[in-house]
Amino acid sequence: MKIIWKIIIIVIIIGLILSIVGFATGASRTLFFDRTGVHISGSGISHITEMNLSQIRNVSVDVGLSDVELVISGDFGIELYGSDIEWLWTLEEETLNISHSKNTRMQIINLDFITSERNYVKIFLPEDAVLDIVDIKTSSGDIKINNFRVDRLEVKSSFGDVDVNNITSNNLYVDLSSGRFTGASINTGRFTFTSRFGDGRFQSVTADSLKADSSSGSMQFTDCAFGEFNATSRFGSITTNGFAASKTNILANSGNVRINGDLSGETIIHTDFGDIKLVLSREKDEYSYDISVRFGSITFDGVRQRDQTTLTSGTSYTNHLKLSSSSGEVDVSFGG
């Protein structure tokens, strides 16, 4: 009996070795089953390039395990690449729609880690293209959008990174479940950012209003300017450098808030468990203030307020600081 089991194990090992060799030399890497039985997939590669598309004004992409990229090109076009995917795309009334068929296969084993190839969607647009609406959704794939003018940009990704660079828009919406967001050189009217488990990096972003909500991840703003700045962080820090806002409202449940820049108008900042540190470019006499801590200390203009949990200026100015922390330090300095 032991000999039979040894033979079975040896046969299985030899089979796996031969399969891996076959996969590595170009054979299919996916074993799946559907309603008709168990199969080894064929090559199943779709590689489509369509150039000279008519003028498009809207783009809608809804794909699963695929990267999505908008690329500057001399003409309009699309390129779709994927293993065992049936791509679906239409061009109707100036709207390009791209998706893929719902696959009824259930994978038993997939050895795609042998290759670095990834499924992707590439949309080629000329440099002077002006789009009305771009709406991109992925389940697990990276999204890259660079160098475009679009009235409304909506991006949603469950598990993937999102890079948005050199974009001019009126409305920008980014919704991430788990992945990093990087946004640079963005000029927009209304910016809405939501992240559940991922960091946000904003550089040279200008917006009339920003509403940012992060459940678990840090947000960092560098050389950014906003009319209204509203940020909420449950478990993560909020850091700015070279920052300007005309109206600010920040709520951090568990994390530090550090701002270096120009705050004008009304500024409201509260932390439950975290420090508040402001290095403001304006002078002290340009602000009124109302500062309070429950468990912590207040340092104002370089002077620590010993045994003092509140500090107020009395008269309220146009530029007003309302800062509070349940458990954390508050440190405010001026002329930085």
Instruction: Identify the pLDDT of residue 164.
Output: 97
Lowest mean pLDDT among 50-64, 184-198, 315-329: 50-64
Residue 84 to residue 102: CA distance in whole angstroms? 11
What residue type is assigned to position 133 of the chain?
A: I
- CA dist 332 and 321 (Å) reads 10
Q: Over range 314-320, report the average pLDDT.
A: 88
- Does the pLDDT at position 149 exceed 60? yes
Least confident of 29-38, 224-233, 251-260, 325-334: 29-38
Could you tell me the CA-to-CA distances from 221 to 7, 258, 259 in Å, in that order? 63, 10, 9
Residue 11: CB partners within 8 Å, gap ≥ 6? none
Rounded-to-integer distance, Cα 295 and Cα 303, Å: 18
What are φ and ψ of residue 43, in 5° steps?
-60, -40
Of 121, 122, 130, give the one whose Cα is nearest residue 55: 130
Query: Which range among 43-47, 211-215, 269-273, 302-306 shows the weakest confidence by mean pLDDT?
Result: 43-47
Largest separation between any pair of C-alpha atoms in the chain: 93
Asked if residue 33 has pLDDT above 60, the reply is no
Other Cβ atoms less than 10 A from the Cβ of 327: the count is 14
Q: Which contacts of 248-256 are long-range, i.e. CB under 8 A and separated by 24 or more positions?
A: 255/218, 256/328
Q: How much is the pLDDT for 244?
A: 98
pLDDT digits (tens, 9 = 90+) for 280-291: 999 999 999 999
Predicted TM-score of the model (pTM) = 0.82
Name the residue type at position 173: Y
Strands annotated E in 13-76: 30-34, 37-40, 45-51, 58-63, 67-73
Among 61-65, 253-257, 276-280, 292-296, the range of highest mean pLDDT: 276-280
What are the b/e assignments for 214-252, b being 16+ CB within 10 Å?
bbbbbbbbbbbbbbbbbbbbbebbbbbeebbbbbbbbbb
* Per-residue pLDDT, 315: 81
Q: What is the model's pLDDT at position 10? A: 60
Residue of 305 and 224 predicted with greater confidence: 224
Q: What is the mean pLDDT of residues 163-185?
A: 96
The secondary structure of residue 101, as a DSSP letter, is P
pLDDT band at 7 (very low <50, low <70, confident <90, very high): low
Kindly report, residue by residue over 13-28, the tens digit of the pLDDT: 655 554 554 544 444 4
Q: Residues 108-143: pLDDT tens digits?
A: 444 444 445 678 999 988 888 889 999 999 988 999
Structure tokens at 217: 């991840």
- Of 315 and 111, more confident: 315
- Mean pLDDT for 293-310 is 92
Count other Cβ atoms within 10 Å, centred on residue 283: 10
Lowest mean pLDDT among 58-67, 225-234, 242-251: 58-67
- Spatial CA neighbour of 235 closest among 210, 218, 212: 218
Confidence of residue 85 (pLDDT cuts 50, 70, 90): confident
pLDDT exceeds 70 at position 312 = yes
Q: What is the CB-side half-sphere exposure of residue 238 using CA atoms within 13 A?
A: 28
pLDDT at 307: 82
Give the pLDDT band (50/70/90) at residue 47: very low
Q: In angstroms, how far is the first alpha carbon of the chain from the final one? A: 82
Mean pLDDT of 212-230: 96
| Model confidence band, residue 44 (pLDDT cutoffs 50, 70, 90) | very low
What's the mean pLDDT in 225-241?
96
Residue 121 one-letter amino acid:
V
Written as six digits, the tokens of 271 are 């932390």
Closest by Cα among 50, 48, 54, 95 to 77? 50
Count how many Cα atoms sit within 13 Å of the Cα of residue 32 in the half-sphere of its side chain: 15
Angle at 101 between CA 125 and CA 59, to 5 degrees: 25
